[in-house]
Structure 1
Amino acid sequence: MASAAASSWSKRWIRPEAWPIFFATGTAVAMCSMQLIRNITGNPEVRVLKEKRAAGVLENHEEGKRYSQHGFRQFIDRQKPEIMGRINSWMADPPKYD
């Protein structure tokens, strides 16, 4: 009976049509896990250890700025805020045919 249930499960879920949902769910779980680990290990406002929690509110602006201005945000800040740059520039300044 157990092998019939396992066979039924594999026939239903281990098919090429079900792979995209596994991929999407796996990607979402990985992103959430990465953000959780980043917040627990690096966020200056999260204190896991009891000794650090006893410190109360810290005025450590340097650490907060280092946490919030990470490498990816610095890269994005250097880019133009356009999704389709060529279309935006073409629509803003169309070529003049005289």
Structure 2
Amino acid sequence: MSWQRWVKPEVYPLMVPIAAVLGLVATQLLRNISTNPEVRVTKENRTAGILENQKEGEKYAEHGLRKFVRGRTPQIMPSINDYFTRGQ
């Protein structure tokens, strides 16, 4: 009963982007905790101080999405852009 009082059908469209953003936040948090060389969760790693690990930092910065988009044109819809620029 109380769920129906607080969550009305008008709120459902708002729940979709909120859930998507929460998913992105959780993904980024897990990525930073597990692979970021500057984040140290365990006590042994925190006592190590500043580490000079360039290879690990490069591996973190050059992730799969960045490798995928490198070399591509920064356009969302290149075929539509080409169509409208040729017409003029």
Same fold (TM over 0.5): yes
Q: CA offset at residue 86 of structure 1?
A: 3.3
In the other structure, the counterpart of 1:13 is 7
RMSD: 2.1
Whether 1:54 and 2:54 are equivalent positions in the alignment is no
Structure exhibiting the larger radius of gyration computed from Cα positions = 1
The change in CA–CA distance for 1:12 and 1:58 in structure 2 (over 3 A counts) is closer
Q: Which runs of 5+ in 2 are unaligned?
A: none
Whether 1:30 and 2:23 are equivalent positions in the alignment is yes
Higher relative CO (Cα under 8 Å, sequence separation at least 6) belongs to 2
- TM-score, normalised to structure 1, is 0.74
Q: Partner letter of residue 54 of structure 2?
A: H
The change in CA–CA distance for 1:53 and 1:12 in structure 2 (over 3 A counts) is closer
Between the two proteins, the alignment pairs up a number of residues equal to 87
User: Residue deviations 1:62-91, cap 9 Å, x none?
Assistant: 111111101111001132122332354452
Q: Secondary structure at the match of 1:83?
A: coil
Alignment of 1:66-81 (within 5 A): 66-81=59-74
In the other structure, the counterpart of 1:84 is 77
Identity rate of aligned residues, in percent?
A: 40
In the other structure, the counterpart of 1:45 is 38
Q: Which runs of 5+ in 1 are unaligned?
A: none
